[in-house]
A and B are shown apart, each in its own frame.
Chain A
């Protein structure tokens, strides 16, 4: 599975849009991109997943360019409760490889009032 690289930390203010970019240069054809959010001492929580172009749900958008070597998680109008660590991961759509997930170091997002 492709390793991912993302900024260690980011700061933002309430009400702003936050974009976190992740690099995954060695992504394979059968790989997808997924993002998780984690609060201290809690299990990660799934945010969004995509394969190409743009995916949007009620909490975030995920932008994936045509070459799929990077992706950007967009959080609209963040609030203090969005302060957390955000992980970008690459997973496999192949059944017998789908169980393996590699978490990187994550991006620690701090939202200030």
Chain B
């Protein structure tokens, strides 16, 4: 089944403890991206990648890192999480010119 898989689905962590949210797609898509969704603020793009080793900042990149060492994986790294990074995170992938992004099921992160 074609899909984008995020892990974990839920995560509670403490301020300053580094964490990684994984994202993997099995559709050989070149484009991948990360979004966060907050009440009243909608979906905001954090980072995106157009291919292996090619990444760029979205609208809210501060406090996040990404890497794209393999085509199928695009992990989101929070080096020192803070409470304002408590949010619902989505990973997505697409092929250039292909119709539509496929989104993962989401990761609900709570930083206390």
Please list the residues of chain A having a beta carbon within 8 angstroms of any beta carbon in chain B.
34, 36, 41-47, 49, 87, 93, 95-96, 98-106
Across the interface, do B43 and A42 meet the contact criterion of CB distance under 8 Å? Answer: no
Please list the residues of chain B having a beta carbon within 8 angstroms of any beta carbon in chain A.
4, 31-33, 35, 42-45, 48-50, 56, 58-59, 88, 90, 92, 94, 96-97, 99-106, 108
Across the interface, do A102 and B100 meet the contact criterion of CB distance under 8 Å? Answer: no
**A-side contacts of B42, CB under 8 Å:** 103-106
- Tally the A-B contacts, defined by beta carbons under 8 Å: 64
Q: Which of A34, A45, A96 lies in contact with B50, CB distance below 8 A? A: A96
Cα-based distance from A46 to B50 in the complex (angstroms): 19
Across the interface, do A95 and B50 meet the contact criterion of CB distance under 8 Å? Answer: yes
Across the interface, do B99 and A99 meet the contact criterion of CB distance under 8 Å? Answer: no
Least CB separation from B88: chain A residue: A41
Least CB separation from B104: chain A residue: A43
Across the interface, do A49 and B56 meet the contact criterion of CB distance under 8 Å? Answer: no
**Do A100 and B90 contact each other (CB < 8 Å), given the known contacts A43-B106, A44-B103, A46-B101?**
no
Across the interface, do B97 and A93 meet the contact criterion of CB distance under 8 Å? Answer: yes
